[in-house]
Structure 1
Amino acid sequence: MNTLLSIGVTVLLSAAALLALTRIVRGPALLDRVVAADILLSTMVGAVSAEAALNRHATTLPILVVLSLLGFVNSVAVVRFAVGEES
């Protein structure tokens, strides 16, 4: 059961990462690319947390905190940049 669950999670997260990478490459605007990068980072957080849950350890918790903070700071910085660019 554990193997089947890990294969399913891997397939779903890989599909999400592939779709986000496609949007980064083909995105017509800068904000589309930024949102796709944020989705890719969220997918990475999901992958690391799924690995931690499946292997039942909490040693990757600092990595999850850093990735989450990176995503938050990235979103705030892009919003500030976009607002400053329109003025």
Structure 2
Amino acid sequence: MLIYALQIAFLLMALSLMLNIWRLFRGPDLPDRILALDTIYINSLALLILFGIWHHTMFYFEAAVLIAMLGFIGTVAAAKFLLRGDIIE
């Protein structure tokens, strides 16, 4: 039963990732593109966690934590650049 749930989750996360990549290239404004990048890294985290469950290993969970930290920092930097025009004051 877990196998079927993982397969459905893989399919839905991959579909969501493709739609976010489409929004990244098609987005009308810069905030829309930044939001798409933020959602892309969240979807990639979900895919890494699903791979970790699938392969019964902790390596994917460690990679997901690292990507989460870097993605958060990137999102904050992009938002600060949009608001102030400069990242480092």
TM-score by length of 2: 0.86
Kept in 2: contact 1:45–1:68 (CA 8 A): yes
Equivalent residues, number = 85
CA distance in 2, matches of 1:60, 1:13: 16
Report % sequence identity. Answer: 22
- 1:8-23 to structure 2, matched below 5 A, reads 8-23=8-23
SS of equivalent residue, structure 1 residue 57: coil
Match of 2:4 in 1: 4
Kindly report the root-mean-square deviation, in angstroms, between the aligned alpha carbons of the 2 structures. Answer: 1.3
- 1:60-75 to structure 2, matched below 5 A, reads 60-75=60-75
TM-score by length of 1: 0.87
CA distance in 1, matches of 2:5, 2:55: 12
CA distance in 2, matches of 1:51, 1:42: 14
What are structure 2's unaligned runs of at least 5 residues?
A: none
Tell me the alpha carbon deviations over residues 12-44 of structure 1, each in whole angstroms, 9 at most, x when there is no partner. Answer: 101110110111011011111111011011000
Match of 1:54 in 2: 54
CA distance in 2, matches of 1:4, 1:60: 20
- 1:31-42 to structure 2, matched below 5 A, reads 31-42=31-42
SS of equivalent residue, structure 1 residue 76: helix
